[in-house]
Structure 1
Amino acid sequence: MSIGTCARAFGSPCIHEHACVRCSLLRPDPAHRARLAEIRDNLIARIAEAETEGWLGEVEGLQVSLAGAEEKLRQLDRGHGQHTAVDLGIPTMRGDR
């Protein structure tokens, strides 16, 4: 299930192998905030299980994904992705020098 829009150029390879919560190019969709929160909560539970089982390599990878999911949630909470118009003014011509 998609949680946003990928800003990667069409046809370019995904270095994250579609682990989008890790990717800085994911633009999270505010409509999918609840799903993203579920992903974060699941990652927290998986980290606890991996720590209990002593799967240290798994813990490290899950922590990277957790940091990404938390950053995406912060982006949504700050309102990133909401587009607003910016007045750039009207260009003027300079006189001859």
Structure 2
Amino acid sequence: MLRVSPTQRPRLSEIISNLGDRITEAQLNNWLGEVAGLQASLKEAAPKLTSLDRAARSPAGAVDLGLPIIAGSPE
């Protein structure tokens, strides 16, 4: 799975909005194959936007777990 850069959030949001408009147009013109393809794209794009939003809310950076201590080894 590809990860989307957080800087691309506005672009991804625009793509999702555009997909919705294109689905509506395809439905009005009875382009059933086009509708199916666009819905598949929308199904994959929407969770990526959710993932970006979730990542923005979580603390950034690495977590220091410390050094492991092995029993019986000299310190």
Please classify the TM superposition score into its range, dividing by the shorter chain length: 0.7 to 0.9
Identity of aligned residues (%): 53
Alignment-mate amino acid for residue 44 of structure 1: G
Secondary structure at 1:93 match in 2: coil
TM-score, normalised to structure 2, is 0.79
Pairs aligned (count): 71
Higher alpha-carbon Rg: 2
| 1:41-88 deviations in Å (ceiling 9; x for gaps) | 1100110011111111111110111122211110111016x7521222
CA RMSD of aligned residues (A): 2.0
TM-score, normalised to structure 1, is 0.63
For structure 1, list consecutive stretches of 5 or more residues without a partner in the other structure.
1-24
1:39 aligns with 2:15: yes
Give the structure with the higher percent helix.
Answer: 2
For structure 2, list consecutive stretches of 5 or more residues without a partner in the other structure.
none
Give the structure with the higher percent strand.
Answer: 1
Question: Larger RCO: Structure 1 or Structure 2 (Cα < 8 Å, ≥ 6 residues apart)?
Answer: 2
Alignment of 1:4-23 (within 5 A): none
Question: Which consecutive aligned stretches of 4+ in structure 1 deviate over 2 angstroms post-superposition?
Answer: none
Counterpart residue number, 2:52: 76
